[in-house]
Amino acid sequence: MAQESSFAASSETHTPTATKSVDQLKQIAAQVRRDIVRMVHAVNSGHPGGSLGCTDLLVALYFKVMKHHPEPFDMNGIGQDLFFLSNGHISPVFYSVLARSGYFPVAELATFRKLNSRLQGHPATHEHLPGIRVASGSLGQGLSVAIGAAQAKKLNNDDRTVFVLMGDGELEEGQIWEAAMYAPHHKVDNLIAFVDRNGQQIDGPTDKIGGLGDLRAKFEAFNWRVLETDGNDLEKLLPTIEEAQSLLGQGQPIMVLMDTQMGFGVDYMMGTHKWHGTAPNDEQLEKALQQLSVEEAGDY
């Protein structure tokens, strides 16, 4: 087992004032991407494409934006910012970021999708894996859960923020639009939602499978405040999140439409639905790792 780097798990409490530089975040993102391709390769199973595309967002949230306490893990997250992953099939990126930010040992990533592992293909709660507050992967439910958590915080006079990530193909689920209608009506203004707008889903491009149309116009018609950004460029993503935070508490939920490339960081995976749920072979893994270099690798 390789020696763990400074990106390994710790008991550090992460707050908005204890932040990392953009260059440090990029190094962490590269390490997380190494984790993703290694985890999926090891069991010839999992979803690398969307995981690689959403890495920058999760790294930004857990290492710079959110106030959260990895240890001891509190299921209710009182006084903490909360994150919910709706498109739970991209669990590799979620597990890596949770481990690297201190929720459980980095070495446990080696058990991904194996028998009796806490790291199931889709995140689940009955294994009591720290950092997982809801089972996800049955698509379309995460926004509803996040809205409920945000309303609970309001009822409890808890001024922290709830974040949720959805996939663009996931927006074909009807429950998303019921939730999208509900949140503005009830002024759930402590919520920031993200859509991974990579234009791909398991069967092909979204514009050919479901035809999502003008997502900005749709969410604005439901009375959301809508921002757009490049989800694979931290210099653009971080200011957009800051802008979203500045709009909280004004009577509307916030939606960030985040353009990404599926498979970002690995050239042969980028921009195609074919790597939605396909694992790299030995040769492909080696090529990916060569492209995902870090100054001090901390591979588990």
pLDDT digits (tens, 9 = 90+) for 253-265: 999 999 999 999 9
Q: How many domains does the chain have?
A: 1
Q: Give the end-to-end CA distance of the chain in Å, rounded to a whole number.
A: 6
Which of 58-72, 109-123, 195-209, 237-251 is predicted least confidently? Answer: 195-209
- In a domain? residue 104: yes
- In a domain? residue 9: no
- In a domain? residue 16: no
DSSP state at residue 12: P
> Taking a C-beta distance cutoff of 8 angstroms, is the pair 231, 262 a contact?
no
E-assigned strand segments in 187-245: 191-197, 200-201, 204-205, 225-230
- In a domain? residue 5: no
Q: The tokens of 99 are what? A: 């481990």
Read off the amino acid at residue 1: M
Task: Report the alpha-carbon distance of residue 165 to residue 141 in Å, rounded.
Answer: 11
- In a domain? residue 132: yes
Per-residue model confidence (pLDDT) at position 15:
55
- In a domain? residue 2: no
Q: What is the average pLDDT score of the chain?
A: 93
Which H or E run includes 95?
helix 91-100
DSSP state at residue 222: T
- In a domain? residue 1: no
Using alpha carbons, select from 43, 204, 14 the residue that is nearest to residue 102.
14
Distances in Å between the Cα of 99 and the Cα atoms of 32, 87, 195 are: 10, 19, 23
> Which residue range is the domain that position 272 belongs to?
22-291
**pTM reported for the whole predicted model:** 0.93
Mean pLDDT of 5-16: 47
Counting residues of the chain whose pLDDT is more than 70, the rounded percentage is 94
> Taking a C-beta distance cutoff of 8 angstroms, is the pair 120, 129 a contact?
no
Q: The tokens of 245 are what? A: 């935070």
Helix (H, G, I), strand (E, B) or coil at 204: strand
The residues, any chain, with a CB within 8 Å of residue 106's CB and separated by 6 or more, are 4, 7, 8, 9, 99, 100, 298, 300
Per-residue model confidence (pLDDT) at position 14:
57
24-45 burial code (b ≥16 CB/10 A, e <16): ebbbbbbbbbbbbbbbbbbeee
pLDDT at residue 137 is higher than 60: yes
Q: The tokens of 25 are what? A: 């975040």
- In a domain? residue 17: no
Sheet holding 225-230, edge to edge: 82-85, 162-167, 191-197, 254-259, 225-230
Q: Comparing 10 with 59, which gets the higher pLDDT?
A: 59
pLDDT at residue 85 is higher than 70: yes
SS3 content of the chain, % helix, strand, coil (to 5): 45, 10, 45
Task: Report the alpha-carbon distance of residue 144 to residue 142 in Å, rounded.
Answer: 5
The residues, any chain, with a CB within 8 Å of residue 200's CB and separated by 6 or more, are 49, 169, 206, 262, 271, 272, 273, 276
pLDDT at residue 1 is higher than 80: no
The domain that holds 40 is classified in CATH as: 3.40.50.970
Using alpha carbons, select from 287, 291, 236, 295 the residue that is nearest to residue 265.
291
Mean pLDDT of 90-117: 97
